[in-house]
Chain A
């Protein structure tokens, strides 16, 4: 018995030595190795906070602001859609933004989508129908890269879910263009590479997208709202939140109903548990 125990302990000790042995080089490197270098551009990155007033859909009781979603759609249509696709959204979905069926028909028809000539079978273009999806701005990714300084404009359908804190990120990115602090830039020798633009809210601060919202009043809103750059950025961020998750508000409302029911059921379950155990719980003392 004691020999067996000794053998086990010996084996364990060898294992422990092996573990420590293989971990030591890393620890040594940490203590005495060179510090990792960071690119100078990281010094200019700032985390974007989003619009000051927040979004109407924020929080557990959030609601869509339909006028805002329609304005955001207008910004997408007149500005973003030149380069960015929205491939998971169909024109019929626009009805959820508060448009009537006739308005959706008209809106769909204002877009040109690829089609097939029914007489000859050749590819052609035709006005969109509600069942069509938003068209791609470029025929393929090579054409997209060629037209955009070798950067492919990403699809925007899921953008606010594909970035951390996405709605605020989109707003911040659109309002984050500018120039780096010249003193700081001179100190670390930072320069925006040719063909790229400085944006303090883009992870590596050099973005290939030219400032899409350049001047106030770039879009003339149908509802007369003053189209400042922050206003347009907020509206399009809200619209892209809807495209990323059309069920957002329905989800939260369903959630309250479900949790309300479960609270009720859990209280009942607790009371029946107490009643069933009443006879078995020990009397203290």
Chain B
């Protein structure tokens, strides 16, 4: 599963030779993230976030496993054991702040990773499976983060659990019993806290498993790149190690500086003060908000203030709450269809003038508006702004993107990655290259190799 010119692993010592015969683990690493993995030479820093996301997952698992040694998932004592970690456990405050802010930074990194994929159309053939697995990882992350936020058993933990499980009660007929079944009671209590802890411990390992599939799927076609033109020849690539290990190492350093600045100087900035008040079922906080990374989706949920009814009859087809729930889940499930909604043969947003305008002046402002509205109280003007933004969000993916991909005239693509970087490359000069003018490259779907690009699996 690699390009023909990929370097081959050659064990040097007697031990590595022995190991290579019995369990070729060093070979696997060498081919996955070592010198044996040829990567396009023109990746920019937006291609750094996949590695950073993997690093975030490791931070979360390591800090989380240690925190679990000192935490007790019991509604009577959970809040107190978190304070025990903060006050009595050696460097417990650092572990907990790293874990709490680690979740936020994980989402920052993942959002950058997703927006990279959206702008450069990384979801298009032959990389649909990578994208689909990525959406699965994102959904698993959201579930894990939500359940993790419940564990400190503060006011926002409790009322967040109440609101989010309450979403299931919107499902017709089975909704109410389903919510009771999910919580193990009529309100969040010990049963809910215990199962959330169990699942919060389990799911990071499920995520790690899907991450392995995600990387496996990535290694079939190889990484995409900012031009969107597939790799054609050896001069288009460099070995992952040392070129991208060095570049990602620098990116990791910058990431860690930002991360530790939050952990050590503003650890509660991204949290909510109400979560330092112990859960109290008899006192509802004035303003229930989820963590910041859910705000855009929370805004979509709350945008639906009216029932879907037949005009002038008063017959309610779908109540507002259910509409909101459908829209919120739909807004992410939509991403599963993205590879087939965007039919443009050109991948990179740099060569798609119309798509680029809708991306920067449509989708990005919409996401910012949804983010702000999701964190704001449910009052005007936020409600109406979130309604406009929600409408645009769905129109963008379901209507604008398919139409743009049909009517847009893309800019001419470079012949190869080498040409894009160096400025010149001879068509037909190397293996796989065909005499092709830039205009014809846009015909046909990428990955179907009409432009003569190589498929590493070949």
Contacts and interface: CB of A to CB of B under 8 A. Distances in A.
A26 B323 CA distance: 13
B165 to A, nearest CB: 23
Name the residue in B41, B253, B399 with the highest tally of chain A Cβ atoms < 10 Å from its Cβ.
Answer: B253
A259 interface: yes
A21 B308 CA distance: 7
A13 B261 contact: no
Given A23-B390, A258-B264, A269-B250, A12 B402 contact: yes
Most buried by B among A5, A24, A244, A276: A276
A234 to B, nearest CB: 21
Contact of A25 (B243, B247, B306, B421): B306
Interface string A46-85: 0000000000000010000000000000000000000000
A282 B423 contact: yes
A166 B390 contact: no
5 closest A-B pairs (Cβ-Cβ)? A255-B264, A25-B306, A266-B253, A26-B305, A162-B276
A173 B315 CA distance: 51
Nearest to A263: B257
Interface string B379-409: 1110110011011001100110011001000
A9 interface: yes
Contacts of A16: 391, 394-395, 398-399
B289 interface: no
Interface in A1-51: 5, 8-9, 12-13, 15-16, 18-27, 29-30, 36
Contacts of A282: 421-423
Secondary structure type dominating chain B contacts? helix
A22 B246 contact: no
A158 B398 contact: no
Interface residues of A, number: 55
Interface stretch (A106-114, A182-190, A215-223, A246-254): A246-254
Interface residues of B, number: 61
A273 B250 contact: yes
A170 to B, nearest CB: 12
A161 B155 CA distance: 13
A282 B420 CA distance: 10
Contacts of A158: 83, 276-277
A contact patch SS: helix
B264 A252 contact: yes
Contacts of B257: 259, 262-263, 266
A205 to B, nearest CB: 14
Contacts of A25: 305-307
B263 A276 contact: no
B20 interface: no
Nearest to B249: A269
A19 to B, nearest CB: 5
24 contacts: A9-B402, A12-B399, A22-B308, A23-B303, A23-B306, A24-B306, A26-B305, A27-B387, A88-B87, A158-B83, A161-B268, A164-B273, A245-B86, A246-B87, A247-B87, A252-B264, A254-B264, A262-B253, A266-B250, A266-B257, A273-B246, A276-B242, A276-B243, A277-B246
B246 A276 contact: yes
A162 B277 contact: yes
Nearest to B318: A22
Given A162-B276, A276-B246, A280-B243, A251 B94 contact: yes
Nearest to A154: B277
B308 A18 contact: yes
Contacts of B274: 162
Contacts of A24: 306
Contacts of A206: none
Given A19-B391, A162-B277, A255-B260, A272 B246 contact: yes
Contact of B94 (A13, A27, A254): A254
Given A88-B80, A269-B252, 9 more contacts: A9-B403, A23-B391, A158-B277, A161-B268, A247-B86, A251-B94, A262-B253, A262-B256, A282-B421
A265 interface: yes
